[in-house]
Amino acid sequence: MERETSRVEAFSDGVFAIALTLLILGIQVPSLDSFATNDKLYHAIINLWPSYFAFLMSFLAVLIMWINHHGFFKYLRKISSFFLFANGFLLLMVTFLNFPTAVLAKYIETPAFNIASAFYCGTMVLVSVAYNLLWYSAAYKRRLVKDEITDNLIFRIRNAYWFGFFIYLFAFVISFVLPMVGLLICISLWVFWVILSYGGVQGENIRRR
């Protein structure tokens, strides 16, 4: 069973790595003529700040997703077909995040910023749905989790995922009116996911054999 979970985790790690790598493609080399001066190139590079911002935001988001996903597998004793499809849906959303990132970078300085922000935050809502579905597929009636995992830990993680979902949903709604506030709410959740340390929580809640 351990080999089975390791294969799924290794495959997932590969997808996360590709998604992180593809994010850089959203930053395009400035297109200047052959007579471009140092000053023009300097300003062209500086003017790409929306792309830098979107890249950094999404890179950190995907990195934290990977850290949580990696910790997730510490609790599993086996996998199921339902789990594989739930994990596939999560990986789908992780790779899709590249597109709303590019849209956000392109329209952050335009009147269409509201929709670009809502599109990005809406994608994070779907990512949250994917994590909730993944945890449900593993923890419902303790289907796939290890015996030493306590019910208290299962409830804590479930509640954390639900909390994240509602906050992302709030960020999505408010983005239509206050786009930067919506993005900042999404960013603030990074701190929450980092605090939700699987290692720390695991040490407090796993039963001693």
C-beta separation of 69 from 19 below 8 A? no
pTM of the predicted structure, to 2 decimals: 0.86
Residue 1 confidence (pLDDT) = 55
> Residue 16: what pLDDT?
94
Indicate the SS3 state at residue 76: strand
d(CA 18, CA 96) in angstroms, rounded, equals 11
Q: What's CA 84's distance to the chain center, in Å?
A: 18
- Given this model, what pLDDT does residue 33 score? 81
pLDDT of residue 119: 97
- pLDDT at residue 198, rounded to an integer: 47
User: For every one of its 209 residues, what pLDDT tens digit does the chain have, with 9 covering 90 and above?
Assistant: 556 788 899 999 999 999 999 888 888 888 888 788 899 898 989 999 989 998 998 999 899 899 888 888 888 988 999 999 999 999 999 999 999 999 999 999 999 999 999 999 999 999 999 999 999 999 998 989 988 888 998 898 899 999 999 999 999 999 999 999 999 999 888 878 877 654 444 444 444 44
pLDDT of residue 3: 64
The H-or-E segment that residue 199 falls in is: helix 198-205
